[in-house]
Amino acid sequence: MKNILKFDNVTHIYHTVRGEVVAAKNLTFSVDEGEFVAIIGPSGCGKTTLLSLAAGLLSPSGGTIERRGSYGYMLQKDELFPWRTIEKNIFLPLEIRKQNTPEARARALALAEKYGLGDFLKSYPSQLSGGMRQRAALIRTLATDPDVLLLDEPFSALDYQTRLNVCEDVANIIRSEKKTALLITHDISEAISLADRVLVLTARPARVSHAHVLDFGNIPPLKRREQPTFSGWFEELWRELNA
């Protein structure tokens, strides 16, 4: 397997009037093609900075970041534009990248149909439930067929039940579309139920303190929560997170 994203000794410093903040120091990790990697860390450890670096929106103050392929970014909230229909929201990245061709639109629409948004294409976001909206946001991210998905706590704004369901859906969609994914979350069980590999970050400046390969294989999220080893992983990660 080849690395599709590689952080090598990355340091990132923020400058504010009050001084400088070292958000990340000597941060090294990589993500393989087709892998689902989850990163957990204490709150305020610079998770969003890390994703912005991975997305190429920020350049690191030190070290190197190797990125291959194209990237799609999914945020905490769906951020669907309320004045656009679901269909038009899904076409947004196509318009921006000037790829708004009939074929690309047809591909995006086929994805939407396949994952249950077919009846809502002409609806406005306000007419959809939170879970459906987040699903539409995922289809929008997938519209340009990115190689890597960057997920910034994409379920944290949902209520618990919806959250479990959408998590299940998203895992399913990402696996069946064979995407590489980098998830950042503070929710330990979400990380265990989704990822192939979990990295634990330290508090600021962020650095990888532990890395684990999970042994669940292709078991979907809800089933993983029923596995006997689930609670063992949870305890271990909890301990490491609070170390």
Interaction site with other proteins (CB under 8 A): 52, 55, 57, 71-73, 75-77, 79, 81-83, 92-93, 95-97, 124, 126-127, 144, 150
Return the DSSP state at 120.
G
Q: Could you give phi then psi for residue 164, rounded to 5 degrees?
A: -65, -45
> Nearer to other proteins by C-beta: 145 or 236?
145
> Nearer to other proteins by C-beta: 126 or 161?
126
Residue type, 97: R
Q: Could you tell me where the DSSP H helices lie in 86-178?
A: 86-96, 102-114, 130-142, 160-176
Closest approach of Cβ 226 to other proteins, in Å? 35
Q: Tokens 């009846």 sit at which residue?
A: 119
> Nearer to other proteins by C-beta: 81 or 238?
81
Q: Tokens 């809502």 sit at which residue?
A: 120
CB 204 within 8 A of CB 46: yes
C-alpha–C-alpha distance, residues 148 and 71, integer Å: 5
Closest approach of Cβ 163 to other proteins, in Å? 19
Closest approach of Cβ 225 to other proteins, in Å? 29
> Nearer to other proteins by C-beta: 41 or 72?
72
Q: Tokens 């029923």 sit at which residue?
A: 226
> Nearer to other proteins by C-beta: 52 or 202?
52
Closest approach of Cβ 142 to other proteins, in Å? 12
Closest approach of Cβ 44 to other proteins, in Å? 18
> Nearer to other proteins by C-beta: 79 or 119?
79
> Nearer to other proteins by C-beta: 89 or 202?
89
Closest approach of Cβ 189 to other proteins, in Å? 25
Q: Within 13 A of 70's CA, how many CA atoms are on the CB side? A: 9
C-alpha–C-alpha distance, residues 87 and 109, integer Å: 8
Closest approach of Cβ 126 to other proteins, in Å? 6
Pairing mode, if any, of strands 180-185 and 36-40? Answer: parallel
Report CA torsion sign: 221, 48, 76, 138.
negative
CB 193 within 8 A of CB 167: yes
